[in-house]
């Protein structure tokens, strides 16, 4: 009896050890090494890093509910199965008890652990993350919430654009940057700033500034924040989060805007030394509402071409198409219309990438799991329910991976 019990308990110990080892091996599955830049290319361990990827902004919020957490795993698993290797998501949620940052400097540990889970799952499924640090808009708090915080503690602020200039507000933002970058993941035990699963930090999702359309106000903010990020974390890549609107530095380029400016300057903002790669978003359905599909696609092609040329020749930095998609709310929408829209974008990305690098990949907006109606925004793609779209995505992933090996 005794020896059998000993045997049983030894076996139990061995099985615990084995599962710990398996678990450790799983955690280490992401290819080690940080994504870096080399001229106008993204590289991983000195080889070209070309990818197909996706947006799922909701990951941390959904992971915060233990009963919903499996949805994060589902999306990483399904995305990874069709070759998607980069995911862009939010590392912010500002204001109130259900948020990550309850008030300036006060954090919700449960929400931080939800973000820890997102990072750990990404690592497990070999997906690299682009983590955005604040929103321009008031979804999840954002720039308006930061200004409100200052206002309610008696700091004189005039409007939301004071986000970019007010020293107190800038201090709140820097504090958030520091908290996230120095966070030690409770699951992986790795500090975020040392985590190779994180491909890049993003300063702000879609910066816009109404009081100064030239691009200079946002430029000064990037000039201050980019070195700050690098002072805490010199390892990771950094991008601004920009949609690509041109500003005043090269007046001719403004002709490529969709008829308006938003306060960014694609060229000067991206020339800032600490910014490692450029980004664009494009929603011609939204930006050119009165125009037909032909005109919208022509805009899309010009938008990609002009930013690719500028990235290659002026910025001499890689370019990533960090958001594009087609909404169910668009006139004439059908799954096949969306699939062909994505095919056109994907083919362009591929041919630009083939043509000497620079265009490193695209991230479609956005993947959801089944049963996530509150997160539907018209652009949602549920891989398990959209086999044709899944196949379009999968083909692009294979082409980008094949291209990696050809370079
Ligand atoms: C948020 O949490 C604080 C401290 O636990 C509590 O006093 C407050 O009532 C909560 N607010 C809401 C809106 O739940
Ligand atoms: C600051 O707070 C006051 C009082 O609530 C409000 O009237 C004002 O609009 C706020 N200003 C800004 C920039 O949010
Ligand atoms: C789309 O709009 C443009 C400009 O108004 C027009 O020239 C073109 O014929 C239209 N194309 C289609 C297919 O309706």
pLDDT in tens, 274-316: 999 999 999 999 999 989 999 999 999 999 999 999 999 999 9
Q: Which domains does the chain have, with CATH numbers?
A: 56-406 (3.20.20.80)
Identify the band that residue 179 occupies on the pLDDT scale cut at 50, 70 and 90. Answer: very high
DSSP-based three-state secondary structure for 125: coil
Q: Looking at the CA of 102, name the nearest ligand.
A: 1
What global pTM score does this model have?
0.92
**Could you tell me which residue, 4 or 213, shows the higher pLDDT?**
213
Which pLDDT score is estimated for 96? 84
Which pLDDT score is estimated for 405? 83
Task: Give residue for tokens 């091996």.
Answer: 25
Q: Which of 206, 239, 243, 380 is catalytic?
A: 206
Tokens standing for residue 314: 């002026």
Q: Looking at the CA of 109, name the nearest ligand.
A: 1
Torsion sign across C-alpha atoms 226, 232, 234, 235:
negative
Probe residue for ligand 2, chosen from 151, 152, 165, 168 as the CB with the greatest number of ligand atoms within 8 Å: 151
Q: Indicate if 202 belongs to the active site.
A: no
| Of 205, 201, 189, nearest in space to 238 by CA | 201
Q: In this predicted structure, which of 30-39, 171-180, 261-270 has the lowest mean pLDDT?
A: 30-39
Probe residue for ligand 3, chosen from 289, 291, 292 as the CB with the greatest number of ligand atoms within 8 Å: 292
Torsion sign across C-alpha atoms 102, 107, 108, 110:
positive
Task: Give residue for tokens 């997906």.
Answer: 127
User: How many Å apart are CA 8 and CA 337, to the nearest integer?
Assistant: 61
Alpha helices in 282-334 (DSSP H): 284-287, 293-310
Which pLDDT score is estimated for 356? 75
The 8-class DSSP code of residue 205 comes to: B
Ligand 3: which residues within 6 Å by Cβ?
A: 292, 294-295
Q: Which tens digit of pLDDT belongs to each residue from 57-113?
A: 999 999 999 999 999 999 999 999 999 999 999 999 999 889 999 999 999 999 999
Residue 353: its H or E element: helix 335-354
DSSP-based three-state secondary structure for 304: helix
User: How many Å apart are CA 92 and CA 143, to the nearest integer?
Assistant: 11
Which pLDDT score is estimated for 28? 46
Which pLDDT score is estimated for 107? 98
Mean of the pLDDT values across residues 147-173? 98
Nearest atom in ligand 3 to 292's CA: 1
Which pLDDT score is estimated for 11? 46
DSSP-based three-state secondary structure for 280: strand
Which pLDDT score is estimated for 406? 82
The 8-class DSSP code of residue 36 comes to: E
Alpha helices in 38-155 (DSSP H): 59-63, 70-81, 109-124, 142-152
The count of residues in the chain is 407
Q: Which tens digit of pLDDT belongs to each residue from 10-36?
A: 444 444 444 444 444 444 445 679 999
Q: What is the mean pLDDT of the chain?
A: 93
Which residue is closest in CA terms to ligand 3's atom 2?
Answer: 292
Alpha helices in 183-334 (DSSP H): 216-232, 266-271, 284-287, 293-310
Which residue is closest in CA terms to ligand 2's atom 2?
Answer: 151
Q: Looking at the CA of 294, name the nearest ligand.
A: 3
Which pLDDT score is estimated for 92? 98
Which pLDDT score is estimated for 22? 43
- Which residues are 280's β-sheet partners? 321
Mean of the pLDDT values across residues 170-188? 98
Centroid of ligand 3 to alpha carbon of 294 (angstroms): 7
Do the beta carbons of residue 264 and residue 212 sit within 8 Å?
no
Which residue is closest in CA terms to ligand 2's atom 8?
Answer: 151
Ligand 2: which residues within 6 Å by Cβ?
A: 147-148, 151, 157-159
Centroid of ligand 2 to alpha carbon of 371 (angstroms): 38
Please determine, for residue 166, whether its predicted confidence score (pLDDT) is greater than 80.
yes
Identify the band that residue 407 occupies on the pLDDT scale cut at 50, 70 and 90. Answer: low
| Of 265, 119, 131, 275, nearest in space to 202 by CA | 131
Mean of the pLDDT values across residues 149-177? 98
User: How many Å apart are CA 233 and CA 194, to the nearest integer?
Assistant: 8
Probe residue for ligand 3, chosen from 294, 296, 332, 337 as the CB with the greatest number of ligand atoms within 8 Å: 294
User: How many Å apart are CA 352 and CA 386, to the nearest integer?
Assistant: 27
User: How many Å apart are CA 13 and CA 383, to the nearest integer?
Assistant: 40
How far, in Å, are 177, 281, 398 from residue 219 at the CA level? Answer: 18, 18, 37
Q: Which tens digit of pLDDT belongs to each residue from 231-260?
A: 999 999 999 999 999 999 999 999 999 999
Q: Which tens digit of pLDDT belongs to each residue from 348-396?
A: 999 999 987 799 999 999 999 999 999 999 999 999 999 999 999 999 9
Instruction: Compute, in degrees rounded to 10, the torsion defined by CA atoms 113, 115, 117, 119.
Output: -140
Q: Indicate if 206 belongs to the active site.
A: yes
Which pLDDT score is estimated for 30? 57
Mean of the pLDDT values across residues 152-181? 98
Tokens standing for residue 60: 């941390």
Which pLDDT score is estimated for 14? 46
């Amino acid at each position: 009896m005794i020896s059998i019990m000993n045997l049983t308990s030894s076996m139990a110990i061995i099985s615990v050890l084995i599962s710990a080892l398996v678990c450790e091996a799983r955690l280490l599955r992401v290819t080690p090494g940080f994504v870096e830049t080399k001229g106008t290319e993204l590289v991983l361990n000195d080889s070209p890093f070309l990818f197909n990827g996706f947006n799922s902004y909701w990951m941390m919020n959904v992971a915060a509910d233990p009963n919903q957490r499996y949805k994060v795993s589902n999306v990483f698993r399904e995305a990874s199965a069709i070759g998607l290797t980069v995911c862009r998501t939010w590392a912010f949620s500002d204001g109130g008890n259900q948020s990550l940052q309850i008030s300036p400097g006060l954090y919700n540990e449960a929400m931080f652990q939800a973000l820890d889970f997102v990072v750990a799952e990404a690592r497990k499924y070999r997906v690299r993350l682009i983590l955005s640090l604040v929103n321009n808009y008031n979804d999840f708090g954002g720039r308006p919430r930061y200004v409100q915080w200052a206002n309610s503690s008696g700091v004189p602020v005039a409007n939301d654009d004071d986000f970019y200039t007010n020293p107190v507000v800038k201090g709140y933002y820097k504090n958030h940057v520091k908290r996230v970058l120095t966070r030690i993941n409770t699951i992986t035990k790795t500090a975020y700033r040392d985590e190779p699963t994180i491909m890049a930090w993003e300063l702000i999702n879609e910066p816009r500034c109404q009081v100064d359309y030239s691009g200079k106000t946002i430029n000064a903010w990037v000039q201050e924040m980019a070195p700050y990020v690098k002072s805490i974390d010199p390892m990771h890549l950094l991008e601004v989060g920009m949609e690509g609107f041109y500003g005043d530095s090269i007046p001719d380029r403004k002709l490529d805007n969709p008829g308006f400016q938003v306060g960014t300057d694609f060229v000067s903002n991206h020339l800032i030394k600490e910014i490692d790669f450029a980004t664009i978003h494009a929603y011609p359905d939204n930006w050119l509402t009165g125009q037909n599909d032909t005109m919208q696609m022509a805009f899309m092609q010009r938008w990609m071409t002009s930013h690719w040329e500028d990235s290659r020749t002026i910025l001499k930095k890689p370019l990533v198409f960090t958001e594009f998609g087609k909404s169910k709310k668009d006139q004439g929408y059908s799954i096949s219309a969306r699939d062909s829209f994505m095919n056109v974008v994907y083919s362009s990305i591929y041919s630009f990438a083939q043509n000497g690098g620079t265009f490193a990949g695209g991230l479609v907006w956005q993947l959801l799991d089944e049963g996530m109606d509150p997160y539907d925004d018209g652009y949602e793609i549920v891989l398990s329910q959209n086999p044709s779209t899944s196949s379009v995505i999968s083909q692009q992933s294979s082409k980008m991976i094949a291209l990696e090996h050809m370079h």
